[in-house]
Structure 1
Amino acid sequence: MDGMTATPPEGILGTASLPQGLRGNYARALPDGTLPADAVCFSEADHATWRTLVQRQRAIFPGRAATAWLAGLDRLDCDDAAPDFAKASRILGGATGWSIVPAPGLIPDAQFFALLAQRKFPVTHWIRRPEELDYIVEPDIFHDFLGHVPLLTDPAYARFLEAYGHLGLEAERKGQLAPLARFYWFMVEFGLIQQADGLRAYGAGILSSRAETLHAVDGEPARLVFDMGRVLRSTYRIDDLQPTYFVIRDYAELFDAIRTAPAMLDAAVRAPTIAPGGSDPADTPHR
């Protein structure tokens, strides 16, 4: 993954308290964790880096990226320059009522969930350096925008992510963040979908990484039929290609899973976890 650190914190969505040495402009962060609009400013070199990254990924998307995600990327019309936040928000608003807001990078979990519940997606305000094209320690605008934002044009997925924000606020109060973070990791960052024309990737961590896209769709990792209970027990590492992916039928399946999650989170907190790449007797391989 073009990811963060080797050992996941309790909430990989953000963290309860942020680590030191992060790159973003945290000094200007507002009470909700976002930044003022004027914090977003890209140089010509930044735009060139964005174009390079998009061109590299575009070359491998055919036959690998989910149809709804690709349609969203085309609709956002952002191949030639780093995204204009206001323009993207107008497009999202017209499609699903969502918007994007600038953020310094990682933000605390409670603020992250609250933004999702308001149909606001935080997008990092800076882009990686040219020497970091293949790997970056922190999530940047390329991961956040290209990975996450295209699918927010899809009504079913947008509805799911809003519901996830509401569930996250409740789970944080109840000490259930660990299993809920696993759900985000596997189904938002690294989810696969079985379309009529074949297996496709929709997860942001896959589609913002060349190596992960090729590995997830063309490689030979374990691919399992999505099972909410299994996902909530599955731990992960964030510094390597994923050994296991879960495959959904459609995005409505994610919303249905959120509706059943409150009854499952307490059990997941107490249940034995499954190590990265591990198996469970009840696993159903995707075929």
Structure 2
Amino acid sequence: MSIRVWRYNYGLGTIYAELDKNKTSIMDLIYKAFAIAEDFGFIRRVEVTTESIGEDAFVENYNIQGTGAFKPIDQLHITTKAAGAIYVKIDKHKTTQLDLINKIFLAAQSFGYVSYIKMVTVSAGDDAFRKSFNVQEARTLASHNQMKVTKSHPTEDLISFIEQNSDITEMHIDLGTTCYNENYEWEVFGEAITLSFYTEADEEDWGLYIKVNTDIFVPFRWVRDERTEEMAQKNAPKLKQLIQEMIGLLPVTQWEWEEYKDFVIAYLEGNILASDNKKSFL
């Protein structure tokens, strides 16, 4: 019996397309490439060439797979590159898991909305609780006020789950919002921020990662012009307010930026945070 050999380096063909540059932008093309990739699989590598720097202006690998062969399509390892993350230590003796959830919904009201919650327990594992909230009907809005928020407080089933399960070890919460993009439009970002609480019973403190999943809060690194500067000036205060409220509402004992990109911190510190140690902007 013959064996089929899958050849990675032999293409079946190439399609060339001409685009109307007056109806798009470089950032718009990138967004649409990532959107198309969601149905096909994932973005593997991005290379950008500029006249000033050349072919190595920007090179980055994405979604590196941890295994060579697998059966379920769900095993595809899809990730996104965050603009930065803040690690927070929380005094677990001064709060509860339900209190944390209530305060997240409170902080989300000024930022946007809670879009998704996932909880992990010792007994049920990763699928203990999963629920989407406030699903938006459109990706691009005429104004910020068109954002649809129907659930601004914890639902009864969420409260009941927390009260009935004492072995919750992780709580992952996505916060959505509308941001002003480089095309002067209000755009919905359903996973703009991910809050990951780690609430193991045997740990001295609880931990929280505030992951900023998009760089729309600062001028784009490679295209910093009047459009992206205006974009950042409208969006950055929203990020600052959210972080301030999170630090203020929770019993925080320590926090610091982690996994950040230099241009993100440089812009936030220089424009809105005024911090020389990445920790003090309250």
Give the alignment's TM-score, normalised by structure 2. 0.28
Give the alignment's TM-score, normalised by structure 1. 0.27
RCO higher in structure (CA 8 A, sep ≥6): 1
Q: Which structure's CA Rg is the greater one?
A: 2
**Per residue, is there more helix in 1 or in 2?**
1
